[in-house]
Amino acid sequence: MALDDIYKEVILDHYKNPRNKREVAGAELTCSKNNPLCGDEITVFVHEEDGKLAEVGFLGQGCSISQSSASMMTEAVLGATREEAEGLIGRIRGMMAGEVEPDEDTFGELVALKGVVKYPVRIKCAVLPWDVLQEALEGKGEAEGIATH
């Protein structure tokens, strides 16, 4: 059954019981972003300590794929250095582009997202939180638009 490829148990679990879904008090790095195509929103909060991502949280709303991906991400990058986090972001993007074959050792639960690759329109959902984290690490805030009076 094809749907099992995308709606794996681990994805549904993180969707129904999201981890670290909270604002992190004292976060030095935050970034908000939405997917203009579908309206999914993710805000990521990072508190750094001793050169490591000591606390990572997210807030947002959206589909099971974007929200579970965010939840898994907060666990996966906890305790990582910036370089390690950016390395993982690159590997996740590579996996979602079909260029990196994931292995359990480095990807852990995140392997579950690989099934999304078969659903091209949903890849953006899976990648969205990782894009937000990348921009948070780069110190970017929110996207700008038109303001009228």
Partner 1 sequence: MAVTERRSAGLDVARLRADFPILERTINGRPLVYLDSAATSQKPRQVIDAEADFYANHNANAHRGLYQLAEEATELYEAARAKLARFIGAPAPETIVFTRGTTESTNLVAYAWARRFLSEGDEILLTDMEHHSNIVPWQLAARDTGATLRYLPLTDDGLLDLTDLGSLLTERTKLLAVTGMSNSLGTLPPLRQLTEAAHAVGALALVDGAQLVPHVPVDVTALDVDFLTISGHKMLGPTASGGLYGKAEHLEAMDAFLGGGHMIEEVFHDHSTWNAVPYKFEAGTMNIAQEVGLGAAIDYLDALGMDAVRAHEEEITAYAIDRLTEAGARVFGPTDTAIRGGAVSFWYRDVHPHDLATILNEEGVAIRAGHHCNQLVMRRYGVPATARASFYVYNTNDEVDALVQALAKAGDVFDG
Could you tell me which stretch among 21-29, 57-65, 101-109, 129-137 binds partner 1 (CB under 8 A)? 57-65
Region from 20-28, 43-51, 59-67, 82-90 binding partner 1, contact rule CB under 8 A: 59-67
Listed residue (55, 59, 56) closest to 43, CA to CA: 59
Choice between 67 and 134, CB closer to partner 1: 67
Using the rule CB under 8 A, which residue among 27, 63, 78, 111 binds partner 1? 63
Residues 6+ apart with CB under 8 A from 20: 56, 57, 58, 71, 74, 75
Residue written as token pair 């074959």: 101
Q: Is 25 in the site for partner 1 (CB under 8 A)?
A: no
Taking alpha carbons only, the member of 3, 8, 1 closest to residue 109 is 8
Question: Whose Cβ is closer to partner 1: residue 33's or residue 55's?
Answer: 33
